[in-house]
Amino acid sequence: MNDRRIAERVIHANLMIVVISGGIDYARYPEVKDLEELFRQEIYDLLSQLDQKRGDKLYARALRATKHASAPYVLEEKASPAKLGLITFYLLQNLVGQGYVEFNTHSPFTVAIDQVLPLLQEHADIDALNASAKKQARRMYETLQRDGYYAGTKWSDLNVE
């Protein structure tokens, strides 16, 4: 996997860390306490393929891209971690639908995302929120693409259901 593809995967995990740390109610969902650690493990596993200096640079670049892509959704007055979670889900769904991204079924990311998705479902059932998240997923994709990620891909509404 080349550096850009590793950075993209780090961005995906970082986005989910932002979702979890952004306000999941641990009293209501105690099972998610370990999810942030699973996403961090995914990042560690990806970066451990590189030497320390290169890994540090790549992580810094991916963190900047994560902040740039998520800023509109975490800095707004009524920021919603659930909406950012849905946006990230639809971004990933589009990339998986194109065959651009594949996740190992036993990776820390997959184990964690499998636990997050049911928590997002109640929010996906809110039509206005869900429709907005789909629209914002495209905007996030375009932001990240302008930053040099997802080369050779195109947004497809067919991949976002």
Residue 12: closest CA among 154, 150, 156: 150
| Residue 156 domain-assigned (yes or no) | no
Provide the mean pLDDT of the chain: 88
Question: Any idea which of 63-67, 72-76, 105-109 has the lowest mean pLDDT?
Answer: 72-76
pLDDT over threshold 90, residue 74: no
CA 121-126-130 angle, to 5 degrees, is 80
| Residue 50 domain-assigned (yes or no) | yes
| Residue 62 domain-assigned (yes or no) | yes
Element (H, E) at 9: helix 3-21
CA 55-60-66 angle, to 5 degrees, is 120
pLDDT over threshold 80, residue 52: yes
- Return d(Cα 158, Cα 150) in angstroms, integer: 17
Q: Which domain holds residue 139?
A: 3-150
Question: pLDDT digit string (tens) for 105-150?
Answer: 899 999 999 888 888 887 878 888 889 999 999 999 999 999 999 9
Q: Look at residue 143 and give its three-state secondary structure.
A: helix
| Residue 93 domain-assigned (yes or no) | yes
CA 101-115-78 angle, to 5 degrees, is 90
| Residue 160 domain-assigned (yes or no) | no
Give the number of domains in the chain. 1
